[in-house]
Amino acid sequence: MTVTSTPRVDPPKGEGALGVALARVAHMQVAWYKSPWIGLKITALQTKDIPVQWYELIKKKINKVPTPEVQLVGPVGLGQIMGQALGQGAGNYLMLVAIIAIYLAFFNLLPIPALDGGRLLFIAIEAIVRKPVNPKVEQKITTIFFIALILMAIIFTFQDIRRLF
């Protein structure tokens, strides 16, 4: 394919002069009876890669390495991304839905009060100190983190809406 392009003199931060990026995209066709096995293998690989990607991102953030390829989005931004994936075909859309489900599962297991991982944290504390955490203290901590999560979702939603306009 031949494309004529003109490099930008002053590209936006984090973008190159052409504003073009390469992406690995594969379309696999397998026999119907092999599909479940291939699906399980891809799911296992994605599930293994997500915590590794989180670790790499956190390491970059700690070392103050710019990460222009990473963009946090709220429900509006997620809907926009899902719309784009649907426009690229049902296979891409279903793959995105699966990846989102895996991300949500890992996020839910983080030791943050108000999430399941937070509940596991309180259970672990109870197991270590051999007595239950005061229910009122647990409730207050959980409420504070729940409010923080809701505020974070609102902030991301406003950022998503601002990006649209």
Query: What integer pLDDT is reported at residue 72 of this predicted model?
Result: 81
Query: What integer pLDDT is reported at residue 147 of this predicted model?
Result: 95
Angle between helix 90-108 and helix 75-87 axes, rounded to 10 deg: 150
Domain range list for the chain: 30-70, 71-164
- Please enumerate in sequence order all residues whose Cβ is within 8 A of that of 14, keeping only pairs 6 or more positions apart, or say none: 66, 68, 69
Which single residue is written with the structure tokens 């956190």? 58
CA distances to 35, 81, 98, 104 from 49, rounded to whole Å, are 21, 20, 13, 14
Lowest-pLDDT choice from 8-22, 45-59, 130-144? 8-22
Region of 130 on the Ramachandran plot (φ > 0 left; ψ -120 to 50 alpha; else beta): left
Confidence of residue 19 (pLDDT cuts 50, 70, 90): low
- Please enumerate in sequence order all residues whose Cβ is within 8 A of that of 107, keeping only pairs 6 or more positions apart, or say none: 115
Query: What integer pLDDT is reported at residue 129 of this predicted model?
Result: 92
pLDDT digits (tens, 9 = 90+) for 147-156: 999 999 999 9
Kindly tell me if the per-residue pLDDT of 20 is higher than 80: no
Alpha carbon distance 87, 104 (integer Å): 23
CB distance 125 to 118 below 8 Å: no
pLDDT digits (tens, 9 = 90+) for 57-88: 889 889 988 887 777 888 898 999 899 889 88
Query: What integer pLDDT is reported at residue 137 of this predicted model?
Result: 92
pLDDT digits (tens, 9 = 90+) for 89-148: 888 898 889 889 998 999 899 888 889 999 999 999 999 999 999 999 999 999 999 999
Query: What integer pLDDT is reported at residue 11 of this predicted model?
Result: 76
What mean pLDDT is predicted for residues 35-43? 88
Query: What integer pLDDT is reported at residue 66 of this predicted model?
Result: 84
Alpha carbon distance 101, 108 (integer Å): 10
CA 114 to chain centre: 19
CA angle 8, 11, 16 (to 5 degrees): 85
Q: Where are the alpha helices (DSSP H) in 13-134?
A: 35-62, 75-87, 90-108, 116-129
Query: What integer pLDDT is reported at residue 61 of this predicted model?
Result: 86
The pTM of the whole model exceeds 0.75: no
